[in-house]
Amino acid sequence: MEGKVKWFDARKGYGFIIKDDGTDLFVHYSSIKMDGFKTLREDDVVKYEIVQTDKGEQASDVEIVKKAPRKRRRRKSQSEG
């Protein structure tokens, strides 16, 4: 299956993927297939499997298909304080 990352909190280690039908799917960092620090960014396109857990559906074997562009943070000028 394929979807888009709705949000992911790297400090907490979890987030949600928006499935094709528009519903949210829980994703835990341990389900992300990548080396090093495992994290996702908002709007990353991912492919995944769905597994049933005692807490409901969860994403598994998550792989990034297309990384979302980095969002630039606007710096405050000195006049803005």
pLDDT tens-digit map of 4-32 = 999 999 999 999 999 999 999 999 999 99
Binning pLDDT at 50, 70 and 90, where does residue 80 land? low
pLDDT tens-digit map of 49-66 = 999 999 999 999 999 999
Distance CA 25, CA 40 (A): 14
* Residue 9, phi then psi, degrees to nearest 5: -100, 105
Q: Does residue 79 lie in a domain region?
A: no
DSSP classification of residue 54: T
Count: domains in the chain: 1
Per-residue pLDDT, 78: 64
Per-residue pLDDT, 72: 72
Q: Which domain holds residue 39?
A: 2-71
Q: Which pTM value belongs to this model?
A: 0.82
Q: Does residue 13 lie in a domain region?
A: yes
The domain that holds 60 is classified in CATH as: 2.40.50.140
